[in-house]
């Protein structure tokens, strides 16, 4: 027995391994049947297969407990509809060409309808009406409402899952499985809503094809074969009706299966047991039905025997159901009495212990509980209350994604986004010296399926939309030809772009577009958000880790630094450097500058400028061109003098700017024109200013021109050539 079961399992696995080839061959066969004439014996086999498919599918729906257990049904419905339509084309060709479409169609035309084509036409029309107006329309409405209600209920179900997860009722794996089931359920009912249109269209197509066949058969019989109108109608109409019945019967079976699968929303078991439980749960309706049937049997003119037999059987069923209910009630009362007696014994035992020992009365309740549990009334262990403190934690950086983007993230589905994020974090450490904390990625059903949101410390820092299995084509300039795609904007830099299908990738690249895949778009956006918000990600705890790291190699520097500055002041200086895209990898040089000037002033602005001057070699390397020359615009002495005049105080003690807002706007407009000119020449925008006003100029323009490098003369290392492109007047 075990050997035969193993053989069956091996055969099934082998068939499943070649199932993709079988489906591909089936689709090719469907196309071939529409083009190439097939012999009648092969048509008979395919028609029998079509009927068998309808019967088996309907029977399978009886045993399905959940709609998701047959999630392939919408696709199966589409394939079966295409197969049936291709059979209609093949049989139509045979009927009109040869007047013969095989034994199965002849049998339906002669035996099933008794050789009367008028009866056959009426039966065919009735089947079409039943399928299209009753079953299909009802199933379509149920699927539509189910899809809408399922989508509306998704947030509540998601909250329920989160609540069960936080309370410990389910683990992370269980929560993940339930989220997947919710999403699959929504997808299934949405697909069923669309699949119902296939069945409706198939019924209409069958009606039209049958009409065309009758008219075409009459025309061919009368005008081409010289038959009389009566003979042509009898011959071709019978074949056409037989063809229509052969096609509509499996169509009716599949539409019924669709109705069964979408209406069994709250099923707890298979269809058969559910039906029996529904009709045998209450005896009173059966008694009333039995009385009505027996009353009908006594009315003169109505058949007596059928109503009498059915009345007796219904009454007997009501008696059996009522008897079963009485027996179950008696068993329940006996069980409760046994539990009550055990509880009383336990309480009496506790009271006796208390009377004897003067302190054992505290054990009375536990003794009673133990006795009750021994009698079969188990109580689950109390669940510990939710740890609310965990909900107060804010992730340094997290990304919320819609469910359509999950395949890009999940390694089990081929996603490599986690590896890309690891690479980005390493790149940030190498380029900027920032150790970006781990990025939490979680799904969020409240955003669009193709949308993602990047958050830094709980606040939204970026948002974008991805189309999986598509490429983003960006016109970076010079491309005049249009490309077919979905218009959008590149989320990191706001460039106009198009989402294109994979087959257009080579064409887009040859036209001059910059083409990237969806994971690269998200990775680029994450990288830019890290750079823009790197200062916020540098927490005091991270600064402590960096200080401890430097202390291992240069303990004297750290000791000298910590004697004059606090950890918070060091953090603020490092954050100021990061905000202006200055790498902080050379911590020894930065700490030495802070240790030297920290004894003079603890002003963060003053210390930041001194640290920048210590990093002059690094800053010069960052802003110079490929030829080693720094190309920059300079701020005119008039503007510098106006700024110095408007400043109260200095960097060492603190400062305030009292400058006419109109002058500030004029200066920003002049700098903007200079920056646009440099960008037009494909140059890195650099503004060269006096050391005393560098920080003030930067603060004035950082809101309007965040990507310009404002450097002072002291931050240019000796030996580097400077080329000016103009003066900001």
Q: Give residue 150's pLDDT.
A: 64
**Contact partners, residue 292, CB within 8 Å, separation at least 6:** 311
* 354 in a structural domain: no
What's the whole-number mean pLDDT along residues 596-607? 88
Is the pLDDT at 129 greater than 70? The verdict is yes
Residues 199, 255: Cα–Cα separation, whole Å? 7
Task: Give the pLDDT band of residue 469 (cuts 50, 70, 90).
Answer: confident
C-alpha distance from residue 259 to each of 29, 62, 142, 277, 300 (Å): 28, 11, 8, 21, 40
Query: Do residue 86 and residue 123 come from a single domain?
Result: yes
- Residue-wise pLDDT tens digits, 167-221: 566 777 777 787 777 777 777 767 776 766 776 777 777 778 778 777 887 788 7
Residues 592, 588: Cα–Cα separation, whole Å? 6
In Å, the largest CA–CA distance within the chain is 122
Three-class HEC string of 593-624: HHHHHCCCCCCHHHHHHHHHHHCHHHHHHHHC
| Pair 634, 686: CB distance under 8 Å | no
Q: Which helix (H) or strand (E) holds 32?
A: helix 19-35
* 708 in a structural domain: yes
Is the pLDDT at 454 greater than 90? The verdict is yes
* 527 in a structural domain: yes
Q: Which of 106, 96, 97 is nearest to 41 (CA)?
A: 106
- Residue-wise pLDDT tens digits, 705-723: 888 899 988 888 888 888 8
Residues 488, 499: Cα–Cα separation, whole Å? 7
Least confident of 126-130, 140-144, 506-510, 613-617: 140-144
Is the pLDDT at 341 greater than 50? The verdict is no
Helices (H), 99-171: 103-107, 117-129, 137-167
Is the pLDDT at 691 greater than 90? The verdict is no
Residue range(s) defining the domain that contains residue 629: 621-729
At residue 137's C-alpha, the angle toward residues 131 and 142, to 5°, is 130
Task: Give the pLDDT band of residue 268 (cuts 50, 70, 90).
Answer: low
Residues 232, 242: Cα–Cα separation, whole Å? 15
Three-class HEC string of 468-513: CCCEEEECCCCCCCCCCCEEEECCCCCCEEEEECHHHHHHHHHHCC
The CATH number that applies at residue 627 is: 3.40.50.12790
Is the pLDDT at 477 greater than 70? The verdict is no
159 strand-pairing partners: none
How many Cα atoms are found within 13 Å in the side-chain-facing hemisphere of 179? 22
* 435 in a structural domain: yes
Residues 494, 126: Cα–Cα separation, whole Å? 60
Residues 122, 48: Cα–Cα separation, whole Å? 23
More confident residue, 321 or 461: 461
Residues 606, 655: Cα–Cα separation, whole Å? 10
The CATH number that applies at residue 524 is: 3.40.30.60
* 349 in a structural domain: no
465 strand-pairing partners: 451
Query: Do residue 405 and residue 327 come from a single domain?
Result: no
* 70 in a structural domain: yes
- Residue-wise pLDDT tens digits, 511-570: 888 888 888 899 889 988 998 888 888 889 888 989 999 999 899 998 998 988 899 999
Could you tell me whether strands 397-401 and 440-443 are parallel, antiparallel, or unpaired per DSSP bridges?
A: parallel
Query: Do residue 188 and residue 242 come from a single domain?
Result: yes
- DSSP class of residue 101 equals -
What's the whole-number mean pLDDT along residues 63-67? 72
Residues recorded for the chain: 729
* 577 in a structural domain: no
Q: Which helix (H) or strand (E) holds 517?
A: strand 514-517
Q: Give residue 158's pLDDT.
A: 65
Query: Do residue 216 and residue 321 come from a single domain?
Result: no
Query: Do residue 99 and residue 200 come from a single domain?
Result: yes
Which of 535, 556, 575 represents a domain boundary (last residue)? 535
Is the pLDDT at 453 greater than 90? The verdict is yes
* 612 in a structural domain: no
Residues 472, 519: Cα–Cα separation, whole Å? 10
Is the pLDDT at 19 greater than 80? The verdict is no
Query: Do residue 658 and residue 727 come from a single domain?
Result: yes
| Pair 593, 561: CB distance under 8 Å | no
E strand intervals along 157-227: none
Q: What share of the chain is helix, strand, coil (3-state, %, to 5)?
A: 70, 10, 25
Could you tell me whether strands 496-500 and 471-474 are parallel, antiparallel, or unpaired per DSSP bridges?
A: antiparallel
**Contact partners, residue 14, CB within 8 Å, separation at least 6:** none
Q: Which helix (H) or strand (E) holds 648?
A: strand 647-650
Which of 229, 244, 269 represents a domain boundary (last residue)? 269
Helices (H), 496-603: 505-511, 518-532, 534-537, 540-553, 555-562, 567-579, 587-597
Query: Do residue 114 and residue 235 come from a single domain?
Result: yes
Residue 225: exposure state from Cβ atoms within 10 A (0-12, 13-18, ≥19) = exposed
Helices (H), 647-685: 661-680
- Count of domains observed in the chain: 5
Q: Give residue 36's pLDDT.
A: 82
**Contact partners, residue 512, CB within 8 Å, separation at least 6:** 475, 478, 479
Which of 476, 503, 535 represents a domain boundary (last residue)? 535
Q: Which of 542, 532, 621, 615 is nearest to 579 (CA)?
A: 532
Query: Do residue 60 and residue 112 come from a single domain?
Result: yes
Query: Do residue 124 and residue 218 come from a single domain?
Result: yes
Task: Find the Cα–Cα–Cα–Cα dihedral 196, 197, 203, 204, rounded to 10°.
Answer: 160
478 strand-pairing partners: none
Query: Do residue 288 and residue 221 come from a single domain?
Result: no
Q: Give residue 327's pLDDT.
A: 72
Query: Do residue 434 and residue 309 come from a single domain?
Result: no
Query: Do residue 323 and residue 180 come from a single domain?
Result: no
What mean pLDDT, rounded, does the chain reach?
A: 78
């Amino acid at each position: 027995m075990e050997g035969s079961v193993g053989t069956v399992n091996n055969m099934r696995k082998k068939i499943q391994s070649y199932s993709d080839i079988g489906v591909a061959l089936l689709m090719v066969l469907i196309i071939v049947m529409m083009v190439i004439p097939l012999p009648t014996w092969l048509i008979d086999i395919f028609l029998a297969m079509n009927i068998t498919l309808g019967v088996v599918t309907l029977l399978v729906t009886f045993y399905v407990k959940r709609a998701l257990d047959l999630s392939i049904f919408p696709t199966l419905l589409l394939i079966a509809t295409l197969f049936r339509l291709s059979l209609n084309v093949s049989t139509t060709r045979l009927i009109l060409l040869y007047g013969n479409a095989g034994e199965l169609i002849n049998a339906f035309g002669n035996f099933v309808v008794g050789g009367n084509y008028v009866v056959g036409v009426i039966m065919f029309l009735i089947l079409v009406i039943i399928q299209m107006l009753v079953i299909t329309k009802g199933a379509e409405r149920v699927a539509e409402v189910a899809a809408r209600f399922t989508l509306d209920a998704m947030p509540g179900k998601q909250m329920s899952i989160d609540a069960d997860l936080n309370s410990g009722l389910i683990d992370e794996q269980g929560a993940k499985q339930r989220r997947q089931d919710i999403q699959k359920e929504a997808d299934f009912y949405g697909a069923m809503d669309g699949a119902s249109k296939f069945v409706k269209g198939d019924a209409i197509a069958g009606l039209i094809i049958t009409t065309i066949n009758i008219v075409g058969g009459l025309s061919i019989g009368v005008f081409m074969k010289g038959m009389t109108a009566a003979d042509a109608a009898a011959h071709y109409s019978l074949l056409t009706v037989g063809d229509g019945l052969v096609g509509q019967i499996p169509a009716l079976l599949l539409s019924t299966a669709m109705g069964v699968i979408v209406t069994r929303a709250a099923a707890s078991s298979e269809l058969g047991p559910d039906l029996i439980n529904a009709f045998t749960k209450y005896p009173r309706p059966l008694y009333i039905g039995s009385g009505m049937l027996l009353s009908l049997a006594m009315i003169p003119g109505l058949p007596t025997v059928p109503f009498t037999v059915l009345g007796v059987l219904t009454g007997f069923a009501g008696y059996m159901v009522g008897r079963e209910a009485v027996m179950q009630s008696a068993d329940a009362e006996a069980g409760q009495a046994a539990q009550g007696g055990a509880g009383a014994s336990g309480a009496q035992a506790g009271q006796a212990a208390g009377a004897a020992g003067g302190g054992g009365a505290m054990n009375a309740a536990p003794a009673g509980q133990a006795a009750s549990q021994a009698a079969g009334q188990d109580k689950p262990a109390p669940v510990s209350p939710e740890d609310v403190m965990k909900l107060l934690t804010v992730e340094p950086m997290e990304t919320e994604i819609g469910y359509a983007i999950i395949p890009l993230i999940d390694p089990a589905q081929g996603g490599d986004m986690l590896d890309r994020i690891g690479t980005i974090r390493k790149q940030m450490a190498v380029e900027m010296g920032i150790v970006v904390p781990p990025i939490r990625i979680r799904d969020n059903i409240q955003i669009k399926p193709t949308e993602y949101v990047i958050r830094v410390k709980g606040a939204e820092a970026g948002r974008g939309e991805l189309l999986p299995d598509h490429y983003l084509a960006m016109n970076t300039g010079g491309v005049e030809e249009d490309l077919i795609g979905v218009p959008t904007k590149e989320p990191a830099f706001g460039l106009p772009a198009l989402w294109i299908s994979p087959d257009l990738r080579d064409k887009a690249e040859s036209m001059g577009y910059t083409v990237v895949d969806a994971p690269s778009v998200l990775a680029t956006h994450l990288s830019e958000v890290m750079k823009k918000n790197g200062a916020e990600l540098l927490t005091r705890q991270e600064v402590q880790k960096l200080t401890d790291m430097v202390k291992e190699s240069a303990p004297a520097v750290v000791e000298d630094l910590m004697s004059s500055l606090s950890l918070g002041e060091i953090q603020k200086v490092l954050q100021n450097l990061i905000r202006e895209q200055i790498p902080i990898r050379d911590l020894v040089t930065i700490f030495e500058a802070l240790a030297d000037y920290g004894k003079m002033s603890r002003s963060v602005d003053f210390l930041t400028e001194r640290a920048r001057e210590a990093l002059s070699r690094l800053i010069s390397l960052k802003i110079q061109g490929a030829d080693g020359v720094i190309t920059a615009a300079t701020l005119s002495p008039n503007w510098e003098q106006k700024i110095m005049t408007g400043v109260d105080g200095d960097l060492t003690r603190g400062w305030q700017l009292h400058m006419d807002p109109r002058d500030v706007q004029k200066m920003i407009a002049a700098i903007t024109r200079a920056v646009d000119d440099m960008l037009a020449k494909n140059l890195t925008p650099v503004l060269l200013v006096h050391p005393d006003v560098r920080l003030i100029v930067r603060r004035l323009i950082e809101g309007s021109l965040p990507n310009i490098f404002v450097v002072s003369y002291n931050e240019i290392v000796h030996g580097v050539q400077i080329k000016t492109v103009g003066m900001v007047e």
